[in-house]
């Protein structure tokens, strides 16, 4: 059972992520966020549970939907919001926007817009860790849509035959843009497909932050014990469209409402903590207020920050600098 302090921290992080996404969505609709964004509301428990089980030395590669991963890894919400605004104070100096949030000081190699690339990048990081004989792992997040891309399985195959310290986490919100995954996935079973490549894999409830945390901790232990790469299929749900502004007609309102009402990771975690008397209503209110204050300050920071100087456009264009972070 999670300790009271950690349990409250899980809640604080999930609420902070939800507040960030809520405010960022509104700002995007108002035209403040160039290029749009991908809202992760509903998927908070996957990010928070995974990151809590990792160590500082572990390396992480994310996806196009990466806000929740970034906050859970400890990135500054101010630098994140400034990056969404494409300001020079952003984590990528305003060059990347929403899909390119990165913090190399935290071994967080960030998101990107290529489906399945998080797995490929993490496989490369795992190879580096293996060559350097470090006591750490690499984690590659992927969405369910990446389950049917070639680069995903090429990377998995290499990780298996070389016994690399790689953990793959499927942030499985069940829809690849507008397509329900069962309709386009042969065999329909992600875990069985991973096992056919010779890797250990399991499916978990991605709405239960404690279950995510425990599964990640187990997988990390197995990897460091030399048992090879691992895969976790965390079943979750996104409350909003694939991207902000999407007019979605592929899901029923009843389905969305059911997930929000009965399977929300924040509400269910609050109910769990209250039932076990691990938190009070006043503490919950304080956590929510602190999240509002932090995101409010992040927006103020982004608004007040300057846009990048065009004379610096070629600065830091050095792929070798990424490799040296290991």
Residues 259-291 pLDDT 10s: 999 999 999 999 999 999 999 999 999 999 999
Beta strand 59-61 pairing with 179-180: unpaired
Tell me what pLDDT residue 103 has. 97
**How many Å is the maximal CA-CA distance in the chain?**
57
- Tokens standing for 74? 């400890």
- Is 156:199 a contact under the CB 8 Å cutoff? yes
C-beta of residue 147 within 8 angstroms of C-beta of residue 181: yes
Q: What was the pLDDT predicted at 1? A: 63
Contact present, 220 and 19 (Cβ < 8 Å): no
**Structure pTM?**
0.94
Asked if residues 9 and 282 have their Cβ atoms less than 8 Å apart, the reply is no
Q: Which two tokens stand for residue 224?
A: 């460091």
What's the residue count for the chain?
326
β-sheet with 166-172: strand ranges across? 59-61, 138-143, 166-172, 230-235, 200-205
Q: In Å, how far are 17, 101, 161 from 22, measured between CA atoms?
A: 9, 18, 43
Chain position carrying tokens 């399985």: 153
The Cβ-side half-sphere exposure at 21, using a 13 Å CA radius, reads: 26
Domains of the chain: 4-309 (3.40.50.970)
Non-local (6+) Cβ contacts of 238 within 8 A are 39, 40, 41, 42, 43, 65, 173, 175
pLDDT < 50 stretches in the chain: none
pLDDT reported for residue 323: 52
Q: For residues 235 and 205, is the Cβ–Cβ distance under 8 A?
A: yes
SS (H, E, C) the chain: CCCHHHHHHHHHHHHHHHHHHHHHHHHHHCCCCCCCCCCCCCCHHHHHHHHHHCCCCCEEECCCCCHHHHHHCCCCHHHHHHHHCCCCCCCCCCCCCCCCCCEHHHCECCCCCCCCHHHHHHHHHHHHHHHHCCCCCEEEEEEHHHHHCHHHHHHHHHHHHCCCCEEEEEEECCEECCEEHHHCCCCCCHHHHHHHCCCEEEEEECCCHHHHHHHHHHHHHHHHCCCCCEEEEEECCCCCCCCCCCCCCCCCHHHHHHHHHHCCHHHHHHHHHHHCCCCCHHHHHHHHHHHHHHHHHHHHHHHHCCCCCHHHCCCCCCHHHHHCCC
Question: pLDDT at position 36, please?
Answer: 86
CA dihedral 39, 209, 121, 170 (to 10 degrees): -80
Q: What angle do CA 163, 218, 154 make, to 5 degrees?
A: 35
């Amino acid at each position: 059972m999670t300790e009271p302090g950690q349990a409250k921290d899980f809640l604080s992080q999930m609420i902070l992520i939800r507040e960030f996404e809520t405010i960022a969505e509104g700002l995007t609709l108002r035209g403040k966020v160039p290029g749009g964004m991908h809202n992760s509301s509903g998927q908070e428990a996957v990010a928070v549970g995974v990151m809590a089980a990792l160590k500082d030395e572990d390396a992480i590669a994310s996806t196009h939907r990466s806000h929740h991963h970034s906050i859970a890894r400890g990135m500054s919400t101010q630098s994140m919001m400034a990056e969404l605004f494409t300001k020079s104070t952003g984590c990528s100096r305003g060059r990347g926007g929403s899909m390119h949030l990165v913090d190399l000081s935290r071994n967080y190699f960030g998101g990107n817009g290529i489906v399945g690339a998080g797995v490929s990048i993490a496989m490369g990081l795992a190879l580096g860790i293996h060559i350097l004989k470090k006591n750490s792992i690499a984690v590659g997040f992927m969405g369910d849509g990446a389950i049917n891309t070639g680069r995903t399985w090429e990377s998995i195959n290499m990780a298996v035959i070389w016994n690399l310290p790689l953990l793959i986490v499927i942030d499985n919100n069940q829809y690849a843009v507008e397509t329900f995954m069962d309709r386009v996935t042969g065999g329909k079973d992600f875990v069985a497909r991973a096992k056919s490549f010779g890797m250990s894999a399991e499916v978990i409830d991605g709405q239960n932050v404690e279950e995510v945390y425990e599964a990640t901790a187990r997988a990390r232990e197995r990897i460091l014990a030399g048992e090879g790469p691992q895969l976790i299929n965390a079943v979750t749900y996104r409350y909003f469209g694939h991207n902000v502004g999407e007019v979605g007609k592929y899901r029923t309102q009843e389905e969305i409402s059911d997930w929000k009402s009965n399977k929300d990771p924040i509400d269910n975690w609050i109910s769990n903590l209250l039932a076990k008397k691990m938190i009070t209503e006043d503490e919950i209110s304080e956590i929510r207020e602190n999240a509002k204050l932090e995101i409010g300050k992040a927006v103020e920071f982004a608004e007040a920050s300057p846009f990048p100087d065009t004379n610096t456009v070629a600065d830091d264009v050095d792929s070798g600098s990424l490799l040296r972070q290991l």
